Amino acid sequence: MKKTLLLITCLFTSSIVAVIAQTPTYYVHNPSNMGVNNSYMHPSVMKKFLFIYNKAELNAAGISGATTFNRIWFRMNNSGTVTLNNCVITIGHTTFTSTTPNTTFASNFNVGAPVVVLSASPLNYTFAAGAWNVPADTWSPITLGTSFTYNDVDNLAIMIEFSSQSGSIPSLYADNGGAPITRYTNTVGGATATSTTARPAFGISNTTPLFNVPELQYGIQQDKVVFSTILTNPAFVKQELAYSTNNGENWRTNLLPSVRETWTIDIPVQKTLYRMYFTDKDGQKHATNVIEIETNLYQKSISVYPTVNNGTFTISYPELHYGSVVITDFKGKILYNIPQNTNQNQEIQISLPAGLYFVQDVKKGKSIKIVVQ
């Protein structure tokens, strides 16, 4: 393996490193039926809405057992900030299903007492845009004031109401399949639904930031996928690999024989989403971020491993003497031309300030983001 030492002197602010997309721990999203619905949080359409997710959907998203969460997430095809005045979010259990919510809002919370998880005036909700068919990316969280524990027995009902709205109008991705519906009303504090619309894509997680839970990365080495996890908790007693071949709708989980930071598997033959679960000594399960691997994304092109590093990483090439590869800053300025490879795996060592950089495959026009810590 050939080692190439790169010495670069340029300055980056630490804030660049913080720009890392997050994903809810569990989410319900159906790409085959996804459409865009901007009636949510729209001042001329509604002031209150309620939607239900069935236990089977939540289990398919990966929930197993009672689960406490402090964040809810939505996905949008636009970006901006919306201000919701007198915003109240209520969550509870129900025996009603996603296709048959009751026309009276309060009647849907028919198992135990619902919990007002947020009461804010105003709620300033900043949201980001993402592609409808990449469900693992670009979710926007709302942090709750009070946590909620889903019992994994009944269905889950979520109600959001507000008195007025200003600013951007979020265009939420929602299920256009026809049957799953949301009750909504134009009346502030109204008790009876006036109409229905499609349910939004929806996620839940706790408030632990991404950098405090295991983070999953991957690289390609010849005909193998190499998973690498950054572990911040040394007391994990169980590790599981979960994967989905249908855009995150159904996850299959395999128990790994031991807890390790690196695992190697065969390259998948189709697009596959991966995440790992770690269980600590207290029985709490921790989920990593979701990554997507698709064969046509890296075949006949380079790959980089790991993408978050301390300045040392490996570039894997599809062939010898592959072609031009450069390192650029976030503005596209070329900082270094990497010598042509004489091995398929070329180890690179970089000395430069922490920040965000890109490894550019000039031959294929592929750009791979790396974060130097």
Low pLDDT (below 50) residues in the chain: 1-21, 208-212, 297-298
Tell me which residue of 370, 71, 372 sits closest to 210, measured CA to CA.
Answer: 71
pLDDT, residue 18, reads 24
Superfamily of 2-16+208-372 according to CATH: Immunoglobulins (2.60.40.10)
End-to-end CA distance of the chain: 24
Residue 111 has a pLDDT of: 97
Cβ within 8 Å of residue 18, ≥6 positions away: none
And the tokens for 372? 């130097």
Task: Give how far Cα 17 sits from Cα of 73, 118, 224, 330, Å.
Answer: 22, 30, 28, 11
Write down the domain spans for the chain: 2-16+208-372, 26-205
How are beta strands 366-372 and 308-309 bridged, if at all?
parallel
- Find where tokens 């709490």 sit: 284
User: What is the pLDDT at residue 277?
Assistant: 83
Distance CA 279, CA 235 (A): 9
Q: What does the pLDDT read at residue 158?
A: 98
How confident is the model over 229-278, as pLDDT tens digits? Answer: 877 655 788 889 988 887 766 778 899 998 888 888 887 877 888 888 88
Q: What pLDDT does residue 10 have?
A: 32
Q: Which two tokens stand for residue 192?
A: 């009876």
The reported pTM is 0.56
Closest CA to 188 of 165, 169, 162: 162
Closest CA to 35 of 76, 72, 81, 80: 76
Q: Which two structure tokens, joined as six digits, stand for 228? A: 């690498």
The predicted pLDDT at position 48 comes to 92
pLDDT for the residue 219? 77
Q: Among 13, 341, 35, which residue's Cα sits nearest to residue 178?
A: 35
Q: How many CB atoms lie within 10 A of CB 326?
A: 14
